[in-house]
Amino acid sequence: MANRDLRDWIEGVRAAGELKVITGAEPKEEIGGIVDIYMRKMGNPAVMFDGVPGFPKGHRVIANILTSIPRVNLALGLPPETAEMEQIQWWRNYFKRNYGPYRVQSHERNVASVMMSPGKHGLIIMRKYHERGQPCPVAVVAGMHPVLMMLGGVEIPYGKNELEAAGGILGEPVEVINMPKTGLPVPANAEIAFEGLIHPDDRIEEGPLGEWTGYYASGSDLEPAIRIDTLMYRDDPILVGAIPAVPPNDNTFYFGSYRCGAVWNQLEAAGIPGVQGVWTHEAGGSRFMLVISIKTLYGGHSKQAAMVAAHCHAGAYNNRWTIVVDDDIDPTNFSDEVWAMCTRCDPRDQVDIIHGGWSSALDPMCYDTETDRRNSRVIIDACIPFRRKKTFPVIARSSKALDERIRAKWAKDLPKGF
C-alpha cells in the first residue's frame, strides 16, 4: 500500500536516503536558488527547508520532490529500487481502468489568480459555469501526497475523478472533507487548502512566471481571479514546491514514465500492432519529444504509429518531435535514436511537418491567436524502409548471444555496467 499523506511519504523518502534538510535559507531568493541547483541533475535528493526566516517554527517547505525514480516509486507504492521501464509498465496496467495542477498566484489577502491552458478540464468546467452566468466554485490545495500532484498533471479522461484514481493507487479511498462555502471535496490531510469563486469576466493581471518549458513563456496577462472565502491549514504546515525551470525539472520529470505508458496504451487502442517501447525525453519536459520503437509488419506501419502518437490525447499537447525507430533500437538510448535517424531516414519521404497541433501559451514557439494556440510538429520515420528490410546492410555489431557468452566468461574484466 502507498503512503497515506505527504508526511508518510517524506518519512519513506528519508528512510531511503533521498532527503536533504537545510536550515535557515531565506524564502525570497535562497530557497528557489538552492532548489534550481538541485534540479539541474536528476537523482539529487528532495530538499526540506526548515527554520525559514520570518515564519513560525515548524513551517517548512519541501521541494525537488519527484526528480528521482526511487521517490516516484515511493509515491506510487512501489519499492524504491523499481526500474524505470517497470514503472512504465505499471502505468500501462493501471490506466486500463478534475483535479489538476494549475498555476495559482497570490495577490491580496483574499485574492488569487489561476492560469488554465485551452483544452484543459478546469477551463472547460469554468466556461460551462460562466456560460450560464454563474460563478465557478474552486478549491486550491497546497501540500498533498505526491501521487495526487502526479495524477493532477496527467491526462485522465474528461469526466473521470482523479481522487478515485488516487484511491486505486493508494489502496484505500482518499479521505476528504467538504469545504464550507463551496462544498468541494479536498483531501482531509492536505497541508493547506482554500476555496472561493471565479466570477464571469473577473480577471486580474498575472505573471510573468517561469514554466516547465524553461522560459517565462506566457508573459503577463489577465487571468481568472479567485475571490477567497475560506483558508485552512494543518498545524506546522509544509508547503510543497514543484518548481518549473529548464527541463528536466520537478514539474516534468515524473511525467515521463506515465506519458510513455499512456501513449503506448493509446497506440494499441488505436489498433497499432508491434509496439515494443515508448519514451519521452526528459530534456523536452516529457512532452516535446516522443520516441516509439516498433516491429514493422507492413508498408506505412511506422508512419501510421508516428501520426497516432503525435495526436493521441496523451501525446498531443505541446508535442513537437515524434520519432519512430525499429525494434532493435532502444528508445531510451538517445545515441541509438540519433544513429537510426542518421542512417535509416530518407527525408524525401520519411520526414513530415504537421501544422495546427494542440499547443499553449507556455510553448515559446506556438502561433495563432491568444485564444487558439497551435504549433507545428515533425514526424520522423527512422525505421528501415519496409521494402528494404531484407536487403538493408547488416549491422556491424556483436550479436546479443555473443555478448552473453562473453559476459558469462569475462565478467570481471568487462567495463562496469556491461
Mind listing the pLDDT tens digit for each residue in 232-260?
Answer: 999 999 988 888 888 888 878 878 888 89
User: Averaged over 46-75, what is the pLDDT?
Assistant: 93
For 6-241, give the CATH class: mainly beta
pLDDT band at 159 (very low <50, low <70, confident <90, very high): low
Q: What is the pLDDT of residue 26?
A: 93
Q: Between 417 and 128, where is the model more confident?
A: 128
pTM (global) more than 0.85: no
Task: For 326, list phi and psi in degrees, rounded to 5.
Answer: -70, 170
Query: Alpha-carbon distance 186 to 153, whole Å?
Result: 17
User: Averaged over 276-289, what is the pLDDT?
Assistant: 91
Q: Of 49, 25, 6, which Cα lies nearest the Cα of 234?
A: 6
Q: What is the pLDDT of residue 411?
A: 86
Q: Please, where in the chain does CATH 2.30.110 lie?
A: 6-241
Alpha-carbon distances of 12 from 67, 79, 358, rounded to whole Å: 15, 10, 38
Query: Alpha-carbon distance 401 to 416, whole Å?
Result: 19
Q: What is the pLDDT of residue 96?
A: 42
Task: For 364, list phi and psi in degrees, rounded to 5.
Answer: -65, -10
pLDDT band at 335 (very low <50, low <70, confident <90, very high): very high
> Is the confidence at residue 1, as pLDDT, over 50?
no
Q: Is the dihedral of CA 386, 392, 397, 399 positive or negative?
A: positive
Q: Which residues pair with 36 in a beta bridge?
A: none
To the nearest whole number, what is the mean pLDDT of the chain?
A: 89
Tell me if residue 222 falls in helix, strand or coil. Answer: strand
Whats the size of the chain, residue-wise? 418
Q: Which residues, other chains included, contact 314 with Cβ-Cβ below 8 Å and sequence gap of 6+?
A: 154, 155, 259, 262, 263, 265, 266
Q: What is the pLDDT of residue 55?
A: 93
Q: What is the pLDDT of residue 93?
A: 66
Q: Which residues, other chains included, contact 403 with Cβ-Cβ below 8 Å and sequence gap of 6+?
A: none
Sheet with 19-23: strands ordered across: 19-23, 46-50, 60-63, 238-241
Sheet with 275-280: strands ordered across: 275-280, 289-294, 321-326, 374-382, 351-358
- Out of 3.30.470.10, 3.20.10.10, 3.10.450.50, 3.40.1670.10, which CATH number does the structure's domain 255-387 have? 3.40.1670.10
DSSP code of residue 413: G
Tell me if residue 308 falls in helix, strand or coil. Answer: helix
Given a contact cutoff of 8 angstroms between Cβ atoms, the answer to whether 47 and 63 are in contact is yes
User: Averaged over 181-190, what is the pLDDT?
Assistant: 90
DSSP code of residue 411: G
Given a contact cutoff of 8 angstroms between Cβ atoms, the answer to whether 173 and 159 are in contact is no
Tell me if residue 356 falls in helix, strand or coil. Answer: strand
User: Averaged over 359-373, what is the pLDDT?
Assistant: 83
> Is the confidence at residue 110, as pLDDT, over 90?
yes
Q: Between 216 and 329, where is the model more confident?
A: 329
Query: Alpha-carbon distance 326 to 305, whole Å?
Result: 12
> Is the confidence at residue 181, as pLDDT, over 70?
yes
Tell me if residue 322 falls in helix, strand or coil. Answer: strand
Cβ burial, residue 351 (10 Å; 0-12/13-18/19+): middle
Cβ burial, residue 84 (10 Å; 0-12/13-18/19+): middle
Task: For 174, list phi and psi in degrees, rounded to 5.
Answer: -80, 120
Alpha-carbon distances of 349 from 342, 345, 352, rounded to whole Å: 14, 9, 8
Q: What is the pLDDT of residue 2?
A: 46
298's grid cell: 507492413
149's grid cell: 500532484
Q: Please, where in the chain does CATH 3.40.1670.10 lie?
A: 255-387
Q: What is the pLDDT of residue 97?
A: 37
Q: Which residues pair with 185 in a beta bridge?
A: 178
Q: Percentage of residues in the chain with pLDDT exceeding 90?
A: 56
